[in-house]
Structure 1
Amino acid sequence: MTKAVRYDEFGGIEVLRVAEVDRPAPEYGQVLVRVKAAGINPGEAAIRTGAMADIFPSTFPSGQGSDLAGVVAEVGAGVDRFVVGDEVIGFSERRASQAELVLVDVDNLTPKPDSISWEVAGGLYVAGVAAWGAVHSIQLDSGETVVISAAAGGVGSLAVQLARRAGATVIGLASEHNHEWLQTHGVIPIAYGDGVADRIKAAAPSGIDAFIDTYGGGYVELALALGVAVERIDTIADFAAAARYGVKTEPGTNARPGAEVLAELAALIADGHLEVPIANVYPLTQVRQAYTELERRHTHGKIVLRP
């Protein structure tokens, strides 16, 4: 037997439990990974409450989570890229990563560089691919100016760095206690709240070229009010506004398979060109506490579970 996060009905944090389940067995093209770290994300909470049931229907009992990093425990037939003992970064498409042992399709794995911590590797997939996709979607050119909301959060903290690497001037909206971190990463920090549009205009008198919204709650409307073209706005959080105004929610024309993007991001981290802030680490048994912190929506970086 092995441990895994489960829930038996839609609901709040109270429906989460850690259950004893049968040890998974890899089938053709699958790898069994002993998880060392698994990130948590706001989308998982939305799925668990049933708020996204029309997009992501659930069967119960349901597992939870996509992000993972760990050690190969067993390989199925047809797998020749990894062997038992290999350290890997990857993702589950079965909402199953928050567990001690997880089955992963071999194409959803990439080797973990030795210099990357388990916590960083385990929290990389969802935030990293979302940030990479958003930056590519708005097709930044060197010298342009982009605003990024929730700029110190799990996705935002990576998006600001990737946008800077593209040569853009980056304005990051964040709580004041995160401004120092943004400044050290070459970002112009702006406090959110009343008067934010005026503060942005003061920081960018020549105008804003693009906007990435990682938070929701009116930032698409703010981008439009700032004169940003619809095709240069991307939101990963406000799908109602995206449908209303026609802004982007997809990774863009240069989208690539998730494992390929993971490998690119991991190489940047290993070479010191990208930082993944870790806000907190919880044991798997404290999954409820981890999501309680996440759902306050004031996290700097990623929250990670350690089975």
Structure 2
Amino acid sequence: MSSITYLEAIREAQYEALKENPNVFLYGQDIGTFGGAFKATKNLGREFPGRVFDAPISEDAMIGMAIGAAVEGARPIIEMQFADFSSVGFNQIVNQAATLYWRTNTPCPITIRLPSGGTAGSGPFHSQSMESIYAHYPGLVILTPATVEDAYWMLLDSVKLEDPVIFCEHKFLYYHLKADDFGQSMPIGKARIARPGRDATVVTYSAMLHESLRAAEELRLDGYEVEVVDLRSVKPMDTDTILASVARTGRLLVVGEAFPWGGVTSEVIARVASEAFHLLDAPPLRLNSKDTPIPYHPNLWKSHRPTTSSIAAELRKLLRY
């Protein structure tokens, strides 16, 4: 296989899901002939006629239809043009899809693809990371693939789950990230040690994995070995792997692109502080985007989100303690 991008992995996973299961269908705005805003469904409508549908500009209606279809035995994959727009379907997602099994003993196997996170020039309405919001609600599975391999395997696994899945794929990785093949699958809910180390632990996910790995490499030049944990799955969260890493290093930095108030980074620190306080040699730190709407200007955007240099600076502060 020639080099494949993160976006191509998502397209290929949808192709495989459609091919394997006649109950799978795709639904989203302009995903049919046009192939979607990012071409994640390019040519799939031609390959699978009658199973790739264009949706109205109503995220509320899109999710409502998907829930009804799932109740009748289908397995819809819904594409939101941008993660930000999913808030229009928020009621259907958290009050209907998330609770359906608990209310009626009827599964709701829908997969909602959210093109998430920022890119230069996208601004406040097309750059948000929504994983923390949806993780608050019981009944939803929240996935945040950071590699080509996970983009492929985790999307395929999402379609097979009986629970509604929020699949947070990062737009910045669509074309920037490539791999030679799809590698091996890992179970949903299992974190991955992306880089072993002994001096500090960075727990992160999605596009921040790659910024964190570059920061760890920068610290290596100073003689430090930083362990980097890729959560992969925000909910369920692999607390055991996090605690085991902190036990090895004694120091913790949690990095996320979402806003700082509450959220995934806070949850990781809360779990470590409550379950493994005795393992810490320094107060745990977190690094998020700024607590402001996301700016349009590329230079402001770079200052708004965590970067290799800001992660490295936080790690040096942690290691000096």
Is the structural similarity TM-score above 0.5? no
Q: Which has the higher contact order (CA 8 A, sep 6+)?
A: 1
> With structure 2 as the length reference, what TM-score do the two structures score?
0.29
Higher strand proportion: 1
> With structure 1 as the length reference, what TM-score do the two structures score?
0.30
Higher helix proportion: 2
